[in-house]
Chains A and B, each alone.
Chain A
Amino acid sequence: MGVTGSGKATVTLPTDEQILITREFDASRHLVYRAWTEPELVRRWWSGNRGEVTVAEVDLRVGGPWRYVMVTDDGFEAAFHGEYREIVPNERIVATEVYEGMPEVEALNTVTFAEADGRTTLTMLVQHASKEARDAHMASGMEAGMREAMDLLERVANALR
């Protein structure tokens, strides 16, 4: 097929309250599940290229808490936590998620792992209580990652004054 590495991540907004993230991996799903849930492995990828994961706590059982913290190179700290609601090993994890910069907004994330021909499609459905909450989550959760875009916006805005 000529598919090396993996597919592109796609983000769609199926309803006003939802965000859907999909990505295919060139690995069987028990490995994708491990990469998603084991703290030592999460530490290696969860901050993207934007800094370091300083906390990755996972208590993988129904009712168990999780908490991830990343710190960007310029010292911005973004912390998220939640609680596991449903766990089907290698298949499905349902958990709440709160961005600690916006503690009143709680999302419910459903992550599914589907394998076909040795490849695994991971989907994460983020369900918010309202459109406002979803949009705020998308914008605010990006603080850690959007520094460059914000700097750009500031420069543009200043130039127009």
Chain B
Amino acid sequence: MARAATTTDAFNAVAEPRRRQILDLLASGERPVGDLVRRLGMSQPLVSKHLRVLREVGAVEARDEGRRRMYRLNARALKPIYDWVLGYERFWSERFNGMDAVLKDLKREEEGGGGDG
């Protein structure tokens, strides 16, 4: 079944280790495809395939310089993805804050329940 490109795919795009390697390489600056192929030790078609996935989700951008195709990172689009650890942490913080409220009630209940607590 054909899928429309969604932003969920951006997370999936970056969850692939080879694509993260590409992003890491591009983090230090714009590079031609040939340079990525050399550094990754992968075939050109495979690198191109990964780059296509990354372009589709807006993680990298391409431009032609003479006969060379240059790729660069789109840091703004990537920030939410790189923030995923923070996002995960934020979600757990919300949960734990909710637990604080539950614990407050349990403590009150225990104290109110009397006895030697």
Contacts and interface: CB of A to CB of B under 8 A. Distances in A.
Interface of A: 5-6, 8-11, 13, 19, 21, 23, 25-27, 31-32, 34-36, 41, 44-50, 122, 131-132, 135-136, 138-143, 145-146, 149-154, 156-157, 160
Contact of B91 (A6, A19, A23, A48): A48
Contacts, number: 134
B56 to A, nearest CB: 9
Chain B, interface size category, equals 35 or more
Given A11-B88, A136-B15, 7 more contacts: A9-B92, A19-B88, A45-B101, A140-B11, A152-B80, A154-B6, A157-B58
B107 interface: yes
A73 B87 CA distance: 18
Contacts of B16: 132
A35 B104 CA distance: 10
Contacts of A8: 93
Contact of B88 (A25, A138, A153): A138
A149 B83 contact: yes
Contact of B85 (A11, A131, A153): A11
B45 interface: no
B57 A157 contact: yes
A74 to B, nearest CB: 14
B14 interface: yes
Contacts of B80: 146, 149-150, 152-153
Interface string B85-117: 101111111111111111100110010000000
